[in-house]
Amino acid sequence: MRHIEYEVSRQVQVIGICGASYIRPYFSGAQYDERILVRVLVTGVNGFVGQWLSRDLAAHRENGESLEVIGLGRKRPKSSDMVFFDRFVEADLGDEAVLLTPLLDGIDIVIHLASRVHVMRDRAADPLESYRRVNRDGSRRLADAAARAGVRRFIFMSSIKVNGERTTSIPYTEEDEPNPADPYGVSKLEAEKEIQQAAKGSKMCVVIFRPPLVYGPRVRANFRSLLTVVRKRIPLPLGSICNRRHFIFVGNLCDAILKVVFGNNVKPGVYIVSDRESVATPELVRMVAHFLNGESPRMFGFPVGILRAGANLCGLAPQVSRLTDSLEVDCSRFVKEFGWVPPFSTSEGIKLTCDDLLRNSP
């Protein structure tokens, strides 16, 4: 399978989701002149995070950063999104016939977001193998080619599911023994190891992010379902849940990625990132109801044990566990090493997410 490249003509102003300003890009161990162009390749640009990160990179470019943004995806973005890229490459990373090394010639930074995303009810005959083909094998091919091409920095989007599914009293940290519980988490852990192995013996610095659930404008899947249910004022039996969960607003995640893109003396490592505060499920529902409907939610207390038992009988145990279990993380390592302060609070992120839903849904 051959790849297709598109040159892009830009004639509109680009506004990203992150409003912070950043230093000019330099690389660890080298002092580049600020006028030298830095080429950034982003995979998975049609995905949720990829769409917003592409906007932010383009906004920095339009504001004077010496950046060239190259997008890579399995299909061409819609015309209005092509403006975010200087060049777009249509290619499937899972296709072994695609020659990746020529695509990476002259690239300084790779931001690898493309993956087979987690789904609650996977209908693949062999889900683990399906995840491995894209998340592990495709990532290894890209990392091998990047190391050969002389890429300086490789940013990989992993998942907190590498650590596990739930916490009790102690938040997850980067030092914890990985304990993935499903094929998606297993494939992400294997991808981390493969990418780190590919970088050995090269000058490529690998930075791995493990975020919890990402939400924001245009969010889909389970978070979008929760928004829809609350907006319709459907009564929810969630009032008795006592848990704490960390999430990350897409603007905060993009901000963290840009800290690595534009950082000085970046060292390889694994980093957990999240919003500043964790929230209980009833608290989250109240925020959503306030921003969507301007009122308290229709939520009532119900024994959590019976809720879980009913979910097991209905085949909804994974969905309900994400509402009832705790999942807290400690992102202090990234905060300390990069001086990172998430620019959006959880309340601000939820409001922006709800505002987008109100604008774009009937």
Query: Whole-angstrom Cα distance, residue 281 to residue 137?
Result: 36
Query: Whole-angstrom Cα distance, residue 135 to residue 226?
Result: 27
pLDDT on residue 198 = 97
pLDDT tens, residue by residue, 193-231: 999 999 999 999 999 999 999 999 999 888 999 999 999
- Classify the C-alpha dihedral 61-257-350-181 as positive or negative: positive
**Per mean pLDDT, which range of 94-108, 163-177, 292-306 is the poorest?**
94-108
Query: Whole-angstrom Cα distance, residue 81 to residue 108?
Result: 23
Does 20 score more than 50 pLDDT?
Answer: no
Q: Give the mean pLDDT of 60-68.
A: 88
Highest-confidence range of 21-25, 59-63, 229-233, by mean pLDDT? 229-233
State phi, psi for 291 to the nearest 5 degrees: -80, -25
pLDDT on residue 11 = 42
Using CA atoms, how far residue 55 sits from 19, 51, 90, 330, 344, in Å, is 12, 7, 18, 28, 17
Burial (CB count <10 Å: 0-12, 13-18, 19+), residue 87 = middle
Does 31 score more than 60 pLDDT?
Answer: no
Q: How confident is the model at residue 75 (pLDDT cuts 50, 70, 90)?
A: confident
Query: Whole-angstrom Cα distance, residue 173 to residue 336?
Result: 14
pLDDT on residue 71 = 93
pLDDT on residue 126 = 82
Q: Which residue type occupies 144?
A: D
Query: Whole-angstrom Cα distance, residue 15 to residue 34?
Result: 22
Q: Which residue has the higher pLDDT, 54 or 91?
A: 54
Q: How confident is the model at residue 7 (pLDDT cuts 50, 70, 90)?
A: low
Q: How confident is the model at residue 93 (pLDDT cuts 50, 70, 90)?
A: confident
Q: Give the mean pLDDT of 242-262.
A: 97
Catalytic residue flag (residue 22): no
Q: Which two tokens stand for residue 154?
A: 């490789």
Query: Whole-angstrom Cα distance, residue 18 to residue 35?
Result: 23
Q: Which domains does the chain have, with CATH numbers?
A: 4-217+247-275+329-339 (3.40.50.720)
Query: Whole-angstrom Cα distance, residue 288 to residue 354?
Result: 7
pLDDT on residue 226 = 95
Q: How confident is the model at residue 3 (pLDDT cuts 50, 70, 90)?
A: low
Task: Please provide the DSSP assignment of 216-239 as one string.
Answer: -TT--HHHHHHHHHHHTT--BS-T
Contact in structure between 114 and 73 (CB atoms under 8 Å): yes
Using CA atoms, how far residue 224 sits from 73, 158, 231, 299, 310, in Å, is 24, 21, 11, 18, 22
Contact in structure between 124 and 187 (CB atoms under 8 Å): no
Q: Say which of 26, 131, 184, 215 is annotated catalytic.
A: 184
What angle is formed at CA 168 by the lines to CA 166 and CA 170, rounded to 5 degrees?
105
pLDDT on residue 6 = 55
The overall pTM is greater than 0.75: yes
pLDDT on residue 48 = 94
Q: Which two tokens stand for residue 172?
A: 């997850």
CB atoms within 10 A of CB 90: 16
Strands 4-7 and 87-90: antiparallel
Query: Whole-angstrom Cα distance, residue 167 to residue 324?
Result: 11
pLDDT tens, residue by residue, 264-303: 889 999 999 999 999 999 999 999 999 999 999 999 999 9
pLDDT on residue 318 = 87
